[in-house]
Structures are given as C-alpha cells and as structure tokens.
Chains A and B, each alone.
Chain A
Amino acid sequence: MTSLSPSESLSQQEASEAHEHHGDFRMFGLATFLVADGMTFAGFFAAYLTFRAVNPLPSGATYELEMVLPTINTLLLLISSFTFHRAGAAMKRNQRALGQRWLLISAALGFAFLAGQMKEYFELPFGLTDNLFASTFYAITGFHGLHVTLGGLMILIVWWQCREGGRVSQDNLFPLEAAELYWHFVDGIWVVLYGILYLL
C-alpha cells in the first residue's frame, strides 16, 4: 500500500497516483469483457440453432453454402493469430522492427479476411431479408466482421505505437497483449461460427 504519514490527506491526483501501486489487472478485465462479448455471440448462435431446429425454410431456400472462400478465410485468420503471437514474442525481445513486420502481416491477413467476406457477400444468392437463414447468416457474420474490423484497426494503432519512441515497448506491452487477446478471441469466435454456420 502507499506509504503516507497518517496526518496527511491526499489530493485527488495524488490519490489516483497512489492507486497505481497495485498490480496491473487490465488483462483480467479485458478477459472478463471478452466473456461478455462471447455471450452476445452465444445468444446469436442459440437463436440460429433454434431457428434451424424449429422453423422450416421456405421452399427453394437452403442451408448449403459455398465452402472454398470461407475455408480460405478461416485459414487466413488462424495464420494471423500465429503471426500476431510472433509479433508479441519479438516485442518482448525488444525487436521493434521485427515486431512491426509481424503486426503488419497480421493486419494484412485480417483485412484480406474482410475482403474475402465482402467477395462472399457479393456472390451469395440471398440477401439480408430473403429468409430466416439469410438474415441470421448476415447478422452473425456481419457482427463478427465488425469485430474483425475493429481488431484490424487496433493492430494498426499498435503497429504505429511499436515504432522507435512509441508507447509500446518491452516495458509497456499491455496494448499489444490486449490487442492480441482480442484478436485470438475474434479468431476463436470465427472457428465456432464456421462450424455452426458452414459445416453444420
């Protein structure tokens, strides 16, 4: 705890500085937030599975989806998680240039994923309001795509802060670790999504 003589009282500023002297629990907080975020997806998946079990599609509609592009997308995301991990390892060893390179690759893979998703959207035979499966498909993949977009932007911000003189360093890895955890989460959600929407 902070070492003050008992007769002093602190100003607000001093109090908040004293506050820093406990451990850094921001990753724990982020992990809890990701549990909450995961539950949003869980609600969507539950809705999808219930609709699938209980509501028949109109005649002519199908659950079949084109598989090549999504499978490539899956691989892109999985690889990007790996490259992100390498970026973290590099920054831990204070190899900024190497770390930045891995980060850019991760971001590129992420945006390639998004581009692939856009292509898939264009080529799909159904629109948002065509039927229940279509609506749920766009809702879930769209919500996930939103997360990928945010994650990609965060990677770019972290990339910028990994430059010489930037905020991210061997001693302050939190922004990178946080972005990495978030990215692994987004990847994990996609794997579940791929299984439920595409494979099932």
Chain B
Amino acid sequence: MTISLTPEHSTPLQPQGWLRYLSFSTDHKVIGLQYLVCGFIFYLIGGALAGAIRTELLTPISDFLPRETYNEVLTLHGTVMIFLWIVPVVNGAFGNYLIPFYVGARDMAFPRLNAVAFWLIPPAGLLLISSYFIASAAQSGWTAYPPLSITTPATGQIIWILSVLLLGGSSIFGGINFIATILKLRRPGLKLMQLPMYCWAMLGTSILVVLSTPVLAGTLVLLSFDIIAHTGFFNPSLGGNAVVYQHLFWFYSHPAVYIMVLPAFGLVSEILPIHCRKPLFGYTTMVYSIMGIVFLGLIVWAHHMFTSGTPPWMRLFFTIATSFIAVPTGIKFFNWLATMWGGRIALNSAMLFSCGFIINFVFGGITGVALAQVPFDIHVHDTYFVVAHFHYIVYGGTVFVIFASIYHWYPKVTGRLLNEDLGRLHFLLTFVGFNLCFAPQHWLGLNGMPRRVAEYDPQFELINQLSSVGALLMAISTLPFLLNVVLSAFNGAPAGDNPWNALTPEWLTSSPPPVENWKGEAPLVTEPYGYGTPAGELPLAATSGSELWKLGNSDQRS
C-alpha cells in the first residue's frame, strides 16, 4: 500500500503503517477506515448470501438448498446487511472519518470509546456467521418474530441475539460519540448553523440511535428469556403476546431505516454542491427537514404491523403519520435538484452514483407512501412488493451513496484519484443490474408472491429468473470497483490536497491528512457551501444569453 501515513516522530510501541488498521487505534481516521473495510467484507458476505437466495429462486421449487438452510440464509442476509454493512459504514466509517474535520477538531470526543465501538463489530460478525457452521443459524428472519423464533432451534437464535446485542451496543457507543463531538467539540467561532449538512444528518441519526436501539436490546433480552428460561413474554401458549414483540421490535427497527438513510442524505448534501459548483440549496430547511424526519421516524413503527392484530384507529394514526414523513423527505430531494439546477455539473462517478441515488430513492419513496396506506398495504404486506421497496431504499439509496462517497473521498484518504472509466463501468453495471433485479419484484408482490419463500407459483418463474440475472450483474459490478480501489492505490493519478476545489475543512489539508488533521490551527469554514458566482459576476465568456438576461432582473443571493 502506498498510503503513507507514517508520522515523522514514531513511537516504537505504536503499530505503524498498515498495521495500525489491525490495531486498537484511537485515531478517528484509522477507525473510520477500519469500519469501511470491515463493513465492505460483510457486504460481500451478505451479497454471497443474496446470491444463494437468487439461485434458489431461479426455479419455482425448493431444489437448491435444504429448506431450513434457505431460511438461515435469508435471515443472515438481512441481519448481515443491516447490522454489519450499512449501519456501521454510513455511521461509523464516514461519520468517524469526516465529523472531526467538519467540527474543526483533531479527533472525536471519546477516542477510546470509538475504538471500543469498532472492535465490537468483527467479533459480533464472526459470531453470527459462525453460527451457520456450528449449530444451525437463526432461521426466523432478521425480524425474529415469536413464536417462530422460540420454536426454531435455540442455539442459532441465541447466538443471533447475542450478536445483535453486541452490534447494537457498538451503534449506541458511536451515537454517544457523535452527539458529544458535534455539540461540544466545535472549534471556536464555528456555529451550529455553519456546520456541513452531514453533521446535522449524523446528529439526527445519533439521536435516533440513542433513543431506539436500547429498546431493541431490551426486547431481545426478553426474547432470550422466552427461549432459555421458558418465560412467556411473547409466547401465547404461556399467556404472552406475540404482537407486543412486534411493537417493541419495530420501535427500533423503523428508526433503524432512518439510521441507515439519514447519513446517506448528509453525504449527498456534501457531494452535490462540490461537483455542481453551487451552494447547497436551502440549508436551513434542510436542517429542519432532518429534525422533522427524526421526530416523525419515532412515531410510525406500526406501519409494519398493519395486518397484525392492531385496532383500526391505531392503523389510521400510523398511516397519517407515515405519510407525513414524505414531506420533509421530499423537501430534501427538491433542494438537491435545485442545487443541481443551474450548476456546472461534472458527471464523474461520484455524481453518477448520486444521481442514481436520487432516481432510485424517489422510486422507493413513492412505493413507500403507497405502503403507508393501510388498504394498499393489506394486499402487499409481506410480499415481494415490500422486498422491492426496501431494496430500492437501502440499496438503490444508501449503497449508491456509499459508492458515490468512496469515489468522492478516496482521493482525500489515499492521495490518489480513482480511475473514471472503471467508475463509469461500475455505475452502469450496478444501476442496470440493480433495477433489473428489483423492479420486477414489485409486480411479483402485487400478483401473489409472498416473501421469504424458496418455492412459488410457476407463473412467476420467468420474472424471477430476470431478477436473478439482475442480481448476477450486481455481483459482477463489484469487480471493476474492487479492481479500481486496489489498482488506484498503487497507480492512481496523484490527487493533491483538493482535487475537487472544495471548501469543507477536510479538503484544506493534505491528502492523506496528517495525524493531527491539519498542520497548525483547524481552519474556520463559516460557509461550507460558498460556491457559486454571485449573479453580477458571471464571466461573459462562460454564460449563456438567458443568464445574462436574468442578471439584469434579479439578484438571488440571500
């Protein structure tokens, strides 16, 4: 690796060079990269599990895996992707790397807690994966509904619970760190409303993490009591209530989707202005939208339970509340479009993936508003329509943003640029493969295919095969990406400090940054989105006639 992060004065006891990434380092940049690489490995594992699912679904009968194994595979796929890939990467990887830069600090508020939070992840992940080989893994889905999770083999389920408890703990420690860093560690002179939008996104996300993850922890503890001690919290045959589990589970798991998506929103807000050379449109409303999503996100959980035994008035409340989340979310999308409008857009890989994100997420958001309506959901609940919806959000949304962010920040982290041709190929394969895989699944759900099945009505065979081809394309798309990341580390063009001519603090230091983030004082950036030429100063040679004409009519600088 040519990433030369070796400081000038080295202490013999501390690991140096690439060994730091295998050590208990308290440097937020090291930890951020640890999260990223570890998370990506789990992405590949989760992807292999998805490959197994799509292979099984090539035929309408259960002929690829034993039935219990298939249920283990789908359980692990969901659990790995959520708790070991997306949550750690958009929060832990990018959050830890970027937030100290953005608040003008040398590191996070609690560097050792940070290291602890990361190092909970590899053992928890190994524990979870190993359950597949040791005993049988959990096979009740990532949602682990009782009584099924109480009646399936206990060992796998308990290992699953332990693993998720560890991962939830990691997430909570991270959340505490982000809240303290953003609220308390800002450099002198830097006000909250001058922070880059990603800080607001992480603040909102961390509030959700701290408030909702512990409820999951408590619920899984009760579930484990039911499994081990034969209590009857959620076991109807012992006087318990299976639906109470669902309420408690979804109280966390709905905010969890915002924990997966809000940081991605923040990252897009960083990427778009730079490559469009325009300020982020509507900073203040973007902040309020984030807070609106955080608040609403905590009170909509029962839209996952519209066909469970909930009373009609409760279903109605959750329909209305869920529908309203579309408003602050929509504001953000319109603001991003307005940021692009009138810009000078460089259509590089980071922008391609960002635009792909907008297209995919709008689609997923539309199906989301549909799902929020009780009568609509009654037909499609627990079908492939829902599978399609959430993959458009988490993959088409968050994963696309993760890729955009890697193309955007790789030069800063390594000092080298990624290859653009490989990047475009990666985007094309991913965008086509992803839409081919998941778009047809909406139709499958509407027409009768439930989820979590290995066998289905033969009329769905062709569409399922189409979907599996899309999945294959998605698998292939990782190859140009991995090639690019590895080769560019050795042969990529040198990036310099600021290849994108950006204004946020991480670009105002070397690539890669020194251990203390900046040599000398942290820069005070009061206008992180100060791009754009004021209306009266557009250069004659570069403008169009309509712009010059508008110049005489209005000055839109606020």
Contacts and interface: CB of A to CB of B under 8 A. Distances in A.
Is A in direct contact with B (CB under 8 Å) within the complex? yes
A36 B214 contact: yes
B210 A32 contact: yes
Contact of A8 (B183, B241, B247, B519): B519
B14 A13 contact: yes
A8 to B, nearest CB: 7
Interface string A117-131: 000000000001101
Contacts of A36: 172, 175-176, 210-211, 213-214
A55 B231 contact: no
A37 B233 contact: no
Contacts, number: 158
B240 A50 contact: no
B168 to A, nearest CB: 10
B312 interface: no
Given A28-B180, A44-B218, A54-B241, A136 B11 contact: no
Given A22-B185, A47-B222, A135 B107 contact: no
Residue of B172, B175, B232 ringed by the most chain A CB atoms within 10 A: B232
A139 B179 contact: no
B450 interface: no
A1 B211 CA distance: 33
Contacts of A131: 232, 239
A58 interface: yes
B180 A14 contact: no
A2 B516 contact: yes
A62 interface: no
B244 interface: yes
Interface residues of B, number: 58
Contacts of B514: 9-10
Contacts of A35: 210-211
Contacts of B464: none
Which size bracket describes the interface of A in this complex? Answer: 35 or more
Interface string A3-32: 010111111111110110011011011001
Interface in B492-518: 514-516
Contacts of B27: 12, 15
A72 interface: no
Nearest to B236: A55
A51 interface: yes
Contact of B516 (A18, A50, A132): A18
B252 to A, nearest CB: 9
B275 to A, nearest CB: 30
Contacts of B251: 43
B131 interface: no
Interface in B1-39: 7-11, 14, 25-27
A10 B184 contact: no
B225 interface: yes
B342 to A, nearest CB: 38
A44 B26 CA distance: 35
B349 interface: no
B239 A132 contact: yes
A172 interface: no
Given A15-B516, A39-B210, A39-B212, A139 B225 contact: yes
A129 B238 CA distance: 9
Contacts of B26: 16
B269 to A, nearest CB: 25
Nearest to B169: A36
A28 B113 CA distance: 14
B11 A132 contact: no
A71 interface: no
A94 interface: no
B179 A39 contact: no
A42 B310 CA distance: 21
Contact of B10 (A6, A11, A50): A11
Nearest to A58: B239
B12 to A, nearest CB: 10
A72 to B, nearest CB: 28
A32 B219 CA distance: 21
Interface string A132-144: 1001100100010
Contact of B180 (A25, A50, A58): A25
Given A25-B109, A32-B179, A135-B233, A10 B9 contact: yes
A5 to B, nearest CB: 8
A8 B521 CA distance: 12
A17 B248 CA distance: 43
B401 to A, nearest CB: 27
B146 to A, nearest CB: 13
B362 interface: no
12 contacts: A4-B519, A7-B519, A13-B14, A14-B9, A16-B111, A29-B177, A37-B214, A40-B215, A43-B248, A47-B248, A135-B231, A139-B233
The 8 closest A-B pairs by CB, nearest first: A43-B215, A43-B218, A40-B214, A39-B214, A135-B231, A6-B520, A11-B9, A40-B218
Given A46-B248, A47-B244, 16 more contacts: A4-B520, A12-B27, A18-B106, A19-B111, A22-B105, A32-B180, A36-B214, A39-B212, A40-B217, A43-B251, A46-B247, A47-B233, A129-B230, A131-B239, A132-B238, A135-B225
